[in-house]
Amino acid sequence: MIYRKLTNIFLVLMMLFICLNLTREHWQNFFNYENLKENFYIKFHKNLEREIIRINDTDILNKREFIDIRGSELEQREKSRWVFLKVLVIPMEKIKYYSENQNFYPKEKVSLYLYSFFIGTVLFIIFYALYIILITLNLINQNNLEPKNNNEKKNPLIFLSFAYFIVITFINLSHFRGGEDNFSIFETLFLITGICLVINYDFYKKGYFIYLYILLCLCSPLIRESGIFLSGFYLIYQFILYRKISKLGLVIPIISIFPYCLANYDIFKYYLNDGFILTTRSIEAQTTWHDLRGNFIGTMHAIFYNFVIFFIPLIIFFRKKNNLQNIFLLFIILYFLLLAAASVLDHVSTRFMPACLIIIYSYIGINNINFNNNNFKKK
């Protein structure tokens, strides 16, 4: 028992350090070789300044009465995410302000370390929410087992630490933009936390879990349009496991779109413009489906690292007639279909959301965790 506790403490502290330091490592690995006069600390500080200006003072949020496709296509979609960007810029401004007004350390180093801690904290919360999900699934499954079959003690933290480390390492090291997609990081935070709340509400029957879940559903589409998927999790969870359609589950997806519509009613007329939400044209310096003809090898390379490699655990850990696993399989497929249609093929950081779902899916398959309405027992 003491050994297990020490192991768990070590794993948690190890993942905390990795998460907090990940962004700094990313900048050191990919932004420290172009100009010897500017190391990655200086480059980050300049990038932070540009990002703050871009959000506050440029066409990304302002001049919303007219939308012109300029620069990289699909970047105009950020106009529909202005609420999230306005919230995100607050900690960025505070980090910049503190780093420039302290006299103990070079401002460039302070800004990168603080920002790395900020993003790392979000990554660690996602890790811990995944851990709570696995723990709750174990408790539910143990309640369903006969006493004679309920003696095996599992430590999901060992599996999760290894799996999560592989995911965030792959996301950050396999592509130079990995780790720079704040939309994916924060949407994953809301997605995994929301799933955690639904599963714990189903087990503990505490009302505040569902209210917090509804709150996340209202906010998630403001981060990115795919955040609407979260609002359907409770409905599908109840239907697949218990063969019932929850009235609340039907209402949540409807009300969750209201804040998004209220924030973006003035630009709906641009949504069908080619290059705003979707594009039918090729994008310069990006890999899309259009490149299959002109750059077949490069396109297949992007498909392998952004699609095929993620489907390997789906095949390996698949369990027949496991309804619980089917829930996560459905959402994983939905995310990949959306990413295939509305994202460039080589933007691997957007795979962070389905990758975290694959961790849950794989754990369910490895341990064959399944339960239904007939043998479910409340704690």
Provide the token pair at 370: 């399944």
> Any idea what DSSP says for residue 145?
S
Q: CA-based angle 84:89:94, to the nearest 5?
A: 145
| Spatial separation of the C-alpha atoms in residues 205 and 200, rounded to whole Å | 8
Q: What's 332's DSSP letter? A: H
CA 69 to chain centre: 27
Q: Which tokens go with 117? A: 């801690």
- Please say whether the beta carbons of 76 and 267 come within 8 A: no
Q: What is the mean pLDDT of each run of 10 residues along the chain (379 residues)?
A: 87 96 87 70 91 78 50 71 93 95 90 96 97 93 61 80 94 63 93 97 91 97 94 95 91 96 86 74 73 82 89 94 94 94 83 96 92 47
Please, how many CA atoms are within 13 Å of residue 54, restricted to the half-sphere of its CB? 13
Q: Give the separation between CA 86 and CA 55, rounded to whole angstroms.
A: 7
Is the CB of residue 69 less than 8 Å from the CB of residue 273?
yes
- Identify the burial level of 151 via C-beta atoms within 10 angstroms of its C-beta, where 0-12 means exposed, 13-18 middle and 19 or more buried: exposed
The owner of tokens 């698949």 is: 318
DSSP three-state, residue 87? helix
18 and 124 in contact (C-beta within 8 Å)? no
Can you give the pLDDT at residue 357? 97
Q: Which helix (H) or strand (E) holds 26?
A: helix 2-30
Q: Are 304 and 345 in contact (CB under 8 A)?
A: no
Q: 331: closest CA among 227, 229, 202?
A: 229
d(Cα 198, Cα 234) in Å, to the nearest integer?
6
Separation of CA 90 from chain center: 20
What was the pLDDT predicted at 372? 60
Q: What is the Cα Rg of the chain in Å?
A: 22
Which residue ranges make up each domain of the chain?
A: 2-63+71-146+155-367
Q: In angstroms, rounded to a whole number, what is the distance separating the alpha carbons of residues 11 and 4?
A: 10
Per-state percent for the chain, helix, strand, coil, to nearest 5? 75, 0, 25
